[in-house]
Structure 1
């Protein structure tokens, strides 16, 4: 028995020795790369490198400090969606009465948006002549807490709604010196102006759009429109050929559900392209599944108290996309969250969801190498840039990391360039 016990200890000791540990020289190199005499000393920087196999922290710097995470917030939305929504969207809740159906939207963003799988509204609504729509279950406002007001005419700031169509966006195409817009019902509200603008711009308070024929470029392909029940009735009627009526009644206890689209393509688009609209709608669907009402704040509170109660530092989490500057997370919390996702998903699915350095998504043009070594979610906002995910070392093994930067005065491209030097160093070390 003594020999057997000794043998087991030797095997365990050998296996533990296989886990990559930083030597003193390697540790000092990272200290120098991130320390007082480095580029990163000019602003707040936090970093953590974590061995997923041994569950050991190999290196950390300021990992307890809170940072504005920007779009790395979408990792929280991804986790919530995986836990609560399972494999499909929650598109509608409804009741029927003869040839009339009354519906409550559940936040599904798919309808006429990008190339996402389309819920078959035509088939679903075919037995009914009249569709009565209610948004009384929508508790969250169109914009999130802390979003910048002057982002209202950029496509990354589309409004949230219970039953969006076209992603709540107008598509713009240049024909001659003028814009042609889609859906075509918006064309009558497009006007020329002498203002020195280069793109089609929407009025702050209305769905009126303006362009300068002398300067029009049409580089902004999509522009958010102001949502309203009346506008939805018009657009939905045009698409379905049915009569839509707005009656904001409460959702009855007895009702049916329609789950219209697979979830994974939406998660993949959100993660690879950092799609804010999809992230916000996903959190609305999470709330709908939990509470039968669309309330992002309540859904976040629930997730933090249940599945995320054990994170190292309590997150200040306020939206699904990371558009808000009120979001605040620490690097070690981001690592702990990512480990939960890593343990939950099969490797193949996880790598499909993550941007890959030099290959896919928001990392297509950075962290280039013959073999991709960075698989991570990016997050960029003026004066803030973060990266959270996996780094593959020269050993072929994967390590989790969080690299967060706030309050820098330089361009994000300069910060990314310096971050890349550090991550190449890490790759060679492990």
Structure 2
């Protein structure tokens, strides 16, 4: 009986492994689609296809090469947040004395940003007459290592801060031929100009904004503002109805912490809309939870030495969003990371977090099919485009893949079209 049981187990494993393999014709099709005579031969392309059930690699091409991952970096941020933050944001650390409360921000991005469940900071501060704010626990600079300097006036490059409000963004609307901005305290810093600009543009070194009345369009709906303690005090005092003061004291060893909002909606927005600001603030919250200081570099170092020590190739990982060109990951490490997320999350949560081809998030307008077959995180910046996630084959089974492209001279839309041809072929053969 024992021998029969062992034989049955062996046969099941063997049949599963055989089923997981590509046959010769399927393998050659992939070789031709990604090989020397293909579109992808003109630049660096890496690909890995992995069977999650049998845990076998079905196909790989340059999976050991490092690529600029762009926003697929957010998968690392997602994993770190799931492991460290659990189910809630890290909003404030504080100490109280009589009617005075001293607070240190912990990186929570949700205060008056988008439609998130709000940390009720006004109610939290209600018992106190005096609010003293410190940012002495903020170790990371406003911009990440390797970010492009001329992204400073685009909404995808909002500054990092310990206690952001309004997503550290100014909202812009067109009223007649002029901009109307919110928060309204910025309105007095809006000036007309004769420069040939079509949008409201911020000065590089200050929160002064300029527009040309003759051709103002207001297509850029949000513009980052420069964060400073003085500006935060003004915005926070207005939002809470209490006067805030600034005193950059160090965080005492003995203090309390407040977790103000659910985490999952923030993770979902980061993944579906590829929100860079959320990704950066999430890594600050991870650092705060671990070390009681906001230091993205230290948080990354900790994750790589603990939960991610076993990745096939050591990543060069420098930020939470993937805005930096110093981020470098291999396709096989991306697959290994995704498998960790896949094993960690219940299916229903994983599907909510992943953009779906033709249906949601950054894949809403690509990989369209009557039955969705691509569930993956995108990553795009100049000359780099990647896709990492799940593909559902005609058999109904799911496979993990990483498809990474760097140094191409084409438009990203052209690269996506060629990638889609490969993924459709793969769907039909699996």
TM-score by length of 2: 0.99
Q: Distance in 2 between matches of 1:373 and 1:91?
A: 37
Q: Distance in 2 between matches of 1:49 and 1:317?
A: 23
Distance 1:46 1:230, change over 3 A: same
Q: Kindly state the Cα deviation for residue 12 of structure 1 after the two structures are TM-superposed.
A: 3.8
Give the aligned partner of residue 9 of structure 1. Answer: 10
Matched position secondary structure for 2:210: strand
Q: Distance in 2 between matches of 1:332 and 1:306?
A: 19
Q: Distance in 2 between matches of 1:312 and 1:301?
A: 17
C-alpha offsets along residues 360-401 of structure 1, whole Å, 9 cap, x if unaligned? 000000000001100000000000000000000000010000
- 1:180-259 → structure 2 map (5 Å cutoff): 180-259=180-259
Q: Kindly state the Cα deviation for residue 15 of structure 1 after the two structures are TM-superposed.
A: 4.0
Give the aligned partner of residue 418 of structure 2. Answer: 418
Give the aligned partner of residue 63 of structure 1. Answer: 63
Q: Distance in 1 between matches of 2:59 and 2:12?
A: 26
Give the aligned partner of residue 145 of structure 2. Answer: 145
Q: Distance in 2 between matches of 1:261 and 1:420?
A: 38
Q: Kindly state the Cα deviation for residue 4 of structure 1 after the two structures are TM-superposed.
A: 4.8
Number of residues of Structure 1 aligned to a counterpart in Structure 2: 429
Matched position secondary structure for 1:266: helix
Matched position secondary structure for 2:20: coil
Q: Kindly state the Cα deviation for residue 97 of structure 1 after the two structures are TM-superposed.
A: 1.1
Q: Distance in 2 between matches of 1:146 and 1:5?
A: 55
Q: Kindly state the Cα deviation for residue 283 of structure 1 after the two structures are TM-superposed.
A: 0.2
Question: Quick check: 2:17–2:56 contact (8 Å CA) kept in 1?
Answer: no
Q: Distance in 2 between matches of 1:149 and 1:137?
A: 25
TM-score by length of 1: 0.99
Distance 1:280 1:5, change over 3 A: closer
Give the aligned partner of residue 376 of structure 2. Answer: 376
Q: Distance in 2 between matches of 1:373 and 1:336?
A: 21
Q: Kindly state the Cα deviation for residue 137 of structure 1 after the two structures are TM-superposed.
A: 0.2
C-alpha offsets along residues 143-188 of structure 1, whole Å, 9 cap, x if unaligned? 0000000000000000000000000000000001100000000000
- Over the aligned positions, Cα root-mean-square deviation in angstroms equals 0.9
Give the aligned partner of residue 24 of structure 1. Answer: 24
Give the aligned partner of residue 131 of structure 1. Answer: 131
- 1:9-408 → structure 2 map (5 Å cutoff): 9-17=10-18, 19-408=19-408
Matched position secondary structure for 1:286: helix
Distance 1:4 1:179, change over 3 A: closer
C-alpha offsets along residues 218-252 of structure 1, whole Å, 9 cap, x if unaligned? 00000000000000000000111101000000000
Give the ranges of 4+ consecutive aligned residues of structure 1 lying more than 6 Å apart after TM superposition. none
Structure 1 residues not aligned, in runs of 5+: none
Question: Quick check: 2:16–2:54 contact (8 Å CA) kept in 1?
Answer: no
